[in-house]
Amino acid sequence: MEKLKMHSKDLSQDNLAKIQAAFPNCVTERQNAQGQIELAIDFDLLRQELSANIVEGPQERYRLDWPGKREAMLTANAPIAKTLRPAREESVNFDDTENLFIEGDNLDALKLLQETYLGKVKMIYIDPPYNTGNDFVYEDDFAESTEEFLQRSNQKDEQGNRLVSNSESNGRFHSDWLSMMLPRLKLARNLLRDDGVIFISIDDGEQAALKKLCDEIFGEKNFVSNIVWQKKYSVSNDDPGIAAMHDHILCYRKSGNFERSLFPRSEKQLERYKNPDGDPRGLWTSGEYVSSKTRLERPTLWYSIKHPKTGEDVWPEENAVWRYSQEKHLELEKDNRLYWGANFSYTKPRLKRFLAEIQDGVVPSTWWSYADAGHNDAGQKETAGLLGKKVFSTPKPIQLLQRILHVSNCIDSICMDFFAGSAASAHAVMQLNAEDGGNRKFIMVQLPEAVDEKHEAYKAGYKTIAEISKERIRRAGAQILEGDCHEDWNKDIGFRVLKVDTSNMQDVYYQPQQLKQNELFASVDNIKPDRSSEDLLFQVLLDWGVDLTLPIRRESIQGKEVFIVDDNALVACFEQGISEALIHELAALKPLRAVFRDNGFASDAVKVNVTQIFKQRSPITEVKAI
């Protein structure tokens, strides 16, 4: 018998739950004074989460640890002074599409998207390097404080943010890989919606470590499943050991609000449903009426029933019982739910299960055969059919990615892949939309990693992996449009290309205190001379957290170039010589936001009056300058 607590509520447990929700990696296990295991806060890790510098802490605890972990946590939280620059000439349907392709280091990209897409992504799928000893990993720069990082962060980094070979002879072989994954997964978690989910492909080599890392980042309770995908359909005869026929796909949810979808039934599964007795309730299949439990285990379920044709008593076997109580059996019998075979030829009944009464689909399992989810060879052929042979070694098949999209329940939401590679994820999103009329949007991120000159892709004219990714999307979209499409599909096969680059702002913008007197006149303009007005617009969208795929109009008002984003989300003018007349016209549009160059006004008087003009004509508008 439990005893009453006889004390007030322990508020520390509420606080622990709040910390666990915000920082699941900071909640661990410890032994209390009574020798029992209980949840506790890892204050060293919590201090690290809240600090801009590396925090040391030797406390013993249950956790995954490796050399460089604290530095990896630091780099996840460190800010960067970079931006995304639009590349219209490489895009498809730039002005109309809701899809994004970001070219650059995915760590930078994930940081840049934190403001705009925080809590907005429904599904993330990634296929990171498998760390086999031949793969490349991102080498990030952890060796500086946040202050040093900010001072240098809009300079070109000669050491970090590039791919390096992670050979097995490296003393930090596993550590480097985990240090690469940790900050990216932490930032990815921030982007997920509360009902969002992430799928990560991995092989046996790092599966165990990756699962522990994901337990920390997403929380152990948010582990959904470890899906085993049969990636091959035959064993290689020259394999020296036990041939690997599968990959793992780890699935984690953001919170308990995630709801998975069911797989649609295949034609083969639907063929099992028939209606041989002409039942008005429609198609049905039958299930066992006998249970495997014994008479000793379930004595109340061992009774006789009457055969409808012979009138004889029918008993379950001695080592079995009926599935239902005698009372429930009479209800089922009265409702014509029992099937005794054609002409009552069965010695025992079976239970009818009507198609119209069961859930509309098949519950996903952790075993995905190549018959259901495709295989490596299919992925290779799909890519070769679009781009040529051996452009990618092991691209994922569309069938696998569509299966992931189905489970994710993301028919009208954002799907992301920040290790885009062959861009099979984007292909799968467009293909599935064309089939079911969905409105899934994609965000792909790919580093412009140089292609080896000896590789078939280089010979085909591709200089970087990102070039191959973009061309795959272009050709896949065109191919999909040629086929049969769902009438409700919006036919969005476009994508806006945005490239990670240094900030549009001069160093003086970030470090005005370092400006010397003799440099004042050369620093009147704080914007780099090689940046366009559209470059400035996208950095403003990032800083303000405005959707990067909103429609953009470019108009001439009072002789000045003006950007109007989604009618009233934002207006921007980065021209020089802005007059009060232009300000009045822009205020009449009643935008939510308005932005100008700080030195772009015709006079100081105009600059002073801007706020008052908007306050009078459009008080809802937030006005800023760059």
What is the model's pLDDT at position 163? 60
Closest by CA position to 554, among listed 565, 539, 570, 545: 565
> What pTM value is reported for the model?
0.81
Q: Say if CB 579 and CB 602 are below 8 A apart.
A: yes
Could you give the angle at the alpha carbon of 86 between the alpha carbons of 85 and 90, nearest 5°?
Answer: 130
292 against 222, higher pLDDT: 222
What is the band of 358 on the pLDDT scale with cuts at 50, 70, 90? confident
**Average pLDDT for residues 382-394, to the nearest whole number?**
83
| pLDDT per residue as tens digits for the range 100-132 | 999 999 999 999 999 999 999 999 999 998 876
Average pLDDT on 66-82 reads 86
pLDDT of residue 168: 59
Where in the chain is CATH 3.40.50.150?
76-264+362-500
Q: Is the pLDDT of residue 399 over 50?
A: yes
Strands 284-288 and 350-354: antiparallel
What's the rounded Cα separation, in Å, for the pair 232 and 222? 29
Cα distances (Å, whole numbers) of residue 109 to 117, 454, 546, 607:
11, 29, 15, 34
pLDDT at site 361: 84
Question: What is the pLDDT averaged over residues 532-554?
Answer: 95
> For the domain with range 76-264+362-500, which CATH number is right: 3.40.50.150, 3.40.50.880, 2.30.290.10, 3.60.15.10?
3.40.50.150
The SS3 call for residue 242 is coil
Once rounded to an integer, what is the mean pLDDT over residues 265-285? 89
Query: Which one, of 446, 439, 449, lies nearest residue 136 by Cα?
Result: 449
Residue scoring higher pLDDT (36 or 86): 86
pLDDT at 8: 41
Q: Is the pLDDT of residue 492 over 70?
A: yes
- Going through 174-318 in order, the beta strands assigned E by DSSP cover 192-202, 223-230, 246-253, 284-288, 290-291, 305-306, 313-314
Q: Identify the weakest region by mean pLDDT among 140-149, 224-233, 323-332, 544-553.
A: 140-149
pLDDT at residue number 57: 64
Q: In whole numbers, what is the pLDDT of the chain averaged over residues? A: 87
pLDDT at 6 over 50: no
Q: Are 553 and 563 in contact (CB under 8 A)?
A: yes
Look at residue 133 in the predicted model and tell me its pLDDT: 63
Phi first, then psi, for residue 230 (nearest 5°) are -80, 95
- What is the pLDDT confidence band of residue 3, given thresholds at 50, 70 and 90? very low
Number of C-alpha atoms within 13 angstroms, CB side, residue 319?
A: 0
pLDDT in tens, 573-606: 999 999 999 999 999 999 999 999 999 999 999 9
**Does 240 have pLDDT greater than 60?**
yes
Confidence at residue 146, expressed as pLDDT on a 0 to 100 scale? 44
For the cut 90, the answer to whether the pLDDT of residue 17 exceeds it is: no
pLDDT above 90: residue 489? yes
Average pLDDT of the segment spanning 428-437 = 97
How far is residue 523's CA from residue 543's CA, in Å, rounded to a whole number?
23
The one-letter code for the residue type at 198 is I
pLDDT of residue 258: 96
- pLDDT above 50: residue 412: yes
In which band, very low, low, confident or very high, does the pLDDT at 218 lie, cut at 50, 70 and 90? very high
Q: What is the pLDDT of residue 520?
A: 45
- C-alpha distances in Å from residue 145, one per residue of 67, 77, 130, 142, 569: 18, 11, 30, 8, 37
Please tell me which of 51-55, 349-353, 523-527 the model is most confident about, judged by mean pLDDT: 349-353
Query: Which residue in 130, 149, 264, 253 sits closest to 201, CA to CA?
Result: 130
Residue 336 in this model has a pLDDT that exceeds 60: yes
Averaged pLDDT for residues 373-389 = 90
Three-state DSSP at 476 gives: helix
> DSSP states of 131-146 as a string?
-SSSSEEEE---SS-H
Using the predicted structure, report yes or no on whether residue 135 has a pLDDT greater than 70: no
User: 159 pLDDT band (50/70/90 cuts)?
Assistant: very low
Segment 510-522, tens digit of pLDDT: 455 554 554 444 4
Q: What is the pLDDT of residue 161?
A: 41
Distance CA 307, CA 344 (A): 8
pLDDT of residue 56: 66
Interatomic CA distance for residues 445 and 44, integer angstroms: 33
Name the residue with higher pLDDT: 607 or 525: 607
